[in-house]
Structure 1
Amino acid sequence: MINVVASEWLKLRSLRSTYYVLASTLSALVLSGFAAFSISHYFDTKGAGGELVGTGLSFSADIPPILFGMLGVLAISGEYGTGMIRLTLTTVRRPWMLLLAKVSVVATVAAVAGQVLAFATYFTAQAVVAGRPIGASFAEPGILTEVLATGAGSAVAAVTGLALATILRSTPGALIALVALMPAPAGVERFLPAPWNDWTGSLTIASLTRQLAGVPDAGAFGPALAAAVLASYVVIAFLTAALAITRRDA
């Protein structure tokens, strides 16, 4: 298993798309910095009463899950496109083991990169705020937890993307499905009555990540239930993808 994981790590590092996706995550940093600047300018000109910057993570919360989901898609979809997956499955006799190795590598990379991005976003926002009473300090309850929870959400998104690509075996199809499914709960909630709308809208990975950290008004779930839902995403994604890669010819 260790050799399979090492092989998958080498594959992921050799893909140019990996670096493109990771570079694209900086767009979240730029967006949060711009939002923090705009709110700070409003505070300077009109005083208190406007929106708070807080950690700065909420302004770009929907971007990392989609981008890290793309990382998961591209980690395996290229092998289906080139037919290399056949050689891989010939070498690794147990398809579920191959999938587990890919999940381990992709989830780890996404978690680390997502966590680095979260800290960078937080410190950028606080640097822009520059001591104004609209930011957030790690000394405040729940602030560090909110930043730390981002890595978990990034990992879940990457596993979801990997599962979609394994099931669909198509890069365009998996990317379209990813972009459509990620914000789907937030769109569906508009057509549902209470309390179903609140529960449905709370099912996005971005929202669940904030609920996991216990951010007030982030959604209808508490931290424990949010953690359970995120874990269920990973389990369902892995089992469905494992079933697809095991029962179908590569």
Structure 2
Amino acid sequence: MSHPMNSFAPPVEPRARFTDLLAAEWIKLRSLRSTYWVLALASLAAIAVNLNAVHTDLTYIDHAPPPPDGLPAYRYDPLFHGLGSIAGDLMAIAAGSLGAITVFGEYTTGLIRTTFAAVPDRRGVIAAKVVLIGGITALAGAVVSTGSFFATNAMLASRHVGLSITDEGCLRAVLGYAAIVPVCALIGMALGAVLRHATASIVSLVVLMFIMPLMFGGDRYRWLKEIGTHLPLSTVNRLTLNPNSSATMGKYAPSVLDAWVTMGVWAIVAVAVTVVLVRRRDV
């Protein structure tokens, strides 16, 4: 027979399901309207930048000057101009900032204490953040990449210099241009977990994405060049390189496989850093 006092035991709360955690993170993100509006506007601006770049080139394509004696005629590269680095950089900073805000924002407001009081499973909470932010930024990256590729090449079709997605290197370029966006978001999350400060996180993101590549350029020292080619945005530069153009990344350029692996390693390390720090550090 059970003890009479057992009838007064408090009911056991059911463990939060992963879908519940995703729903909670979605509610938090929706409450920060400025963050996802920034990502949406950045996506539209990135497509507009790529379209404008190709539209500006149409006049040059129509009236290209003859090549100097002994040199081959210039061949227009739709991948280089249609999936431009300026638009890619814009998406990188927007996605990275969104990822950082979702982490340091909760520490700044103190909401993280409420979150972990309601859901002690910190790994589950971070996993939900990773899936949500990664999914949203992957969607944004796919929209920008596919929209830019098909729209710019439709513009170029009348000039007979456009490309098809089935042409060599095109599918790889579109996938790489899209994949770097969620990778930057995950890196932003890791920086937010490490620094827990708005300004420090965003400045560190800018340094990693845009300043460090300037420090590790040139072909004189192989070890410096290889560090530079394994930085996040260098991977997408390799993946979007048109195999049928004369452009190269210089000496010691990484292979396509190396670029994919490097991008994956950045994503995995960023997630691991975020999970470990949030689990082990006090709130």
Report the TM-score when normalising by structure 1.
Answer: 0.89
Residue 50 of structure 2: aligned partner = 32
Match of 1:168 in 2: 195
The one-letter code matched in structure 2 to 1:6 is A
1:223 to 256, 276, 282: 256
Runs of at least 5 residues in structure 1 that lack an aligned partner in the other structure: none
Preserved contact between residue 207 and residue 218 of structure 1 (Cα < 8 Å): no
Detail structure 1 runs of 4+ shifted over 6 Å in the superposition. none
Contact 1:214 1:222 in 2 (8 A): no
Deviation at 1:206, TM superposition (A): 3.0
Structure with the larger helix share: 1
Q: 1:114 to 1:173 in 2, by over 3 A?
A: same
Work out which of the two has the higher radius of gyration on C-alpha atoms and give 1 or 2: 2
Q: Does 1:242 align with 2:272?
A: no
1:14 positional shift: 2.9
| Percentage of identical aligned residues | 29
Supply the distance in 2 between the matched residues of 1:82 and 1:209 (Cα, whole angstroms). 35
Q: Which moved more, 1:159-168 or 1:45-54?
A: 45-54
- In structure 1, the residue matched to 2:140 is 113
Amino acid of the residue matched to residue 53 of structure 1? P
* Matched ranges for 1:131-210 at <5 A: 131-190=158-217, 193-210=220-237
CA displacement 1:126-150 (0-9 Å, x = unmatched): 2332422333222312212211222
- The 3-state SS of whatever aligns with 2:47 is helix
Is there any run of 5+ residues in structure 2 with no aligned partner, and where?
Answer: 1-17, 66-72
| Matched position secondary structure for 1:73 | helix
Q: Residue 216 of structure 2: SS of its match in structure 1?
A: helix
Between the aligned partners of 2:275 and 2:112, the Cα distance in structure 1 is: 14
> Counterpart of 2:19 in structure 1: which amino acid?
I
Of residues 94, 99, 105 in structure 1, which corresponds to 2:126? 99
Structure 2 partner of 1:2: 19
TM-score under structure 2 normalisation? 0.79
Letter in 1 for 2:74: G
1:57 aligned partner: 83
Determine the C-alpha separation between the residues in 2 that align with 1:159 and 1:15: 18
Supply the distance in 2 between the matched residues of 1:172 and 1:153 (Cα, whole angstroms). 23
Kindly state the Cα deviation for residue 192 of structure 1 after the two structures are TM-superposed.
7.0
2:117 maps to: 90
Q: CA separation of 1:204/1:136 partners in 2, compared to 1, >3 Å: closer, same or farther?
A: farther
The count of residues paired between Structure 1 and Structure 2 equals: 250
CA deviation after TM superposition for structure 1 residue 65, in Å: 1.5
